[in-house]
């Protein structure tokens, strides 16, 4: 049974009694909010949680959550009950709420972040280390399902070309030239990308809004939230996803995410291959060259110009 469709906050308010009951009286008053960077239909609230000794701590309530997010948040908790240095500490959760088939969870409120709000030069290395810890911890779990959501790069490229035709963009001629160049090599690039090793799990949504900390110490471990996109993949996907957020702010790329994550993986004893840099460039080229397909959300001229530079450089390195 599912509740009727309604606004997230109204839905959350209607579920409050069920949350209080499910939490056994530990849950305090909930203040619902929605962050600017939040995606999806989940309602998120701040509240307090009563511990066994009667003291209270700040927590975050999230309802509903997807089955993948709940699964991995549970799976990556430390077995001894101590908080993880990789993901938020889970205090309570469930797959149903009262009569409804809605998953929910209560996690610690992380006091520092998201990192995207205030830039520090250590952000790239700390997020790369956090992703590497996640990659390392998930090696204990076999990749037991096929890759989901295979990208249709041919369709995305056609939409990118149409966007260039239909809109007045800076450097339109250079974009057209790039698209002709990439289109000639697209089938081979996509085939090579789809043949990448898919031997481990990745975060899948590695950006600075999903990175928080328990401490203001500039070297404090980064805690990763929002595990809804954890999936089989190649580590360069996480690295390039992090990198692309900084393309239009090149001064923040003094520590290159791919090189930084590669070094973190080497230090952690995780697998590396000579072909990794090729996969990284293919990923850069596919993502950067198709950026005009997403003008509504990624159409800032500075970002598009940065994508054009990234795509051209990657195409040169790949000899496309």
Could you tell me where in the chain the CATH 3.90.1200.10 domains are found?
A: 115-318
Q: CA nearest 86: which of 139, 143, 136, 39?
A: 136
Residues of the chain with confidence (pLDDT) below 70: 1-9, 35-41, 146-148
CATH number, span 8-108: 3.30.200.20
Predicted pLDDT of residue 218: 87
Which pair of tokens denotes residue 288?
């950067």
Q: What share of the chain is helix, strand, coil (3-state, %, to 5)?
A: 45, 15, 40
Task: Give bridge partners of residue 58 from the DSSP assignment.
Answer: 48
**pLDDT value of residue 5:** 38
Residues in the chain: 320
Predicted pLDDT of residue 185: 98
What is the predicted pLDDT for the residue at 12? Answer: 77
Record: fold of 115-318:
Aminoglycoside 3'-phosphotransferase; Chain: A, domain 2 (3.90.1200)
pLDDT value at position 147?
67
Do residues 275 and 147 make contact, with C-beta atoms less than 8 angstroms apart? no
- Please report the sign of the dihedral spanned by the C-alpha atoms of residue 109, residue 45, residue 93, residue 117: negative
pLDDT, residue 14, reads: 87
Domain(s) labelled CATH 3.30.200.20 in the chain stretch across 8-108
Q: Tell me what pLDDT residue 248 has.
A: 94
In angstroms, the CA 1 to CA 31 distance is: 26
């Amino acid at each position: 049974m599912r509740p009727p469709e309604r606004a997230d906050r109204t839905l959350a308010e209607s579920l409050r009694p069920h949350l209080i009951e499910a939490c056994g009286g530990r849950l305090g008053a909930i203040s619902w909010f929605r962050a600017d960077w939040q995606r999806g239909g989940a309602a998120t609230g701040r509240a307090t949680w009563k511990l066994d000794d009667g003291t209270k701590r700040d927590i975050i309530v999230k309802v509903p959550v997807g089955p993948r997010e709940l699964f991995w948040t549970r799976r990556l908790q430390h077995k001894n009950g101590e908080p993880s240095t990789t993901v938020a500490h889970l205090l309570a959760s469930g797959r149903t709420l009262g009569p409804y088939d809605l998953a929910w969870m209560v996690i610690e409120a992380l006091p520092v972040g998201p990192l995207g709000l205030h830039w520090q030069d250590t952000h790239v290395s700390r997020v790369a280390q956090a992703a590497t810890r996640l990659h390392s911890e998930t090696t204990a779990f076999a990749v037991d399902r096929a890759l989901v959501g295979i990208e249709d790069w041919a369709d995305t490229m056609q939409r990118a070309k149409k966007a260039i035709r239909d809109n007045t963009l800076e450097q339109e001629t250079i974009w057209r030239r790039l698209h002709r160049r990439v289109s000639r090599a697209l089938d081979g690039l996509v085939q090579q990308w789809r043949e990448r090793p898919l031997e481990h799990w990745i975060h899948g949504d590695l950006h600075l809004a999903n990175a928080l900390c328990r401490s203001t110490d500039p070297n404090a471990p980064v805690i990763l939230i929002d595990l809804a996109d954890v999936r089989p993949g190649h580590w360069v996907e996480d690295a390039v996803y992090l990198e692309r957020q900084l393309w239009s702010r090149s001064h923040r790329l003094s520590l290159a995410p791919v090189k930084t994550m590669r070094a973190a993986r080497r230090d952690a004893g995780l697998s590396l291959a000579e072909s990794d840099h090729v996969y990284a460039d293919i990923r850069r080229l596919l993502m950067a060259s198709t950026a005009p397909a997403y003008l509504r959300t990624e159409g800032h001229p500075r970002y598009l110009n940065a994508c054009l530079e990234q795509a051209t450089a990657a195409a040169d390195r790949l000899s496309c």
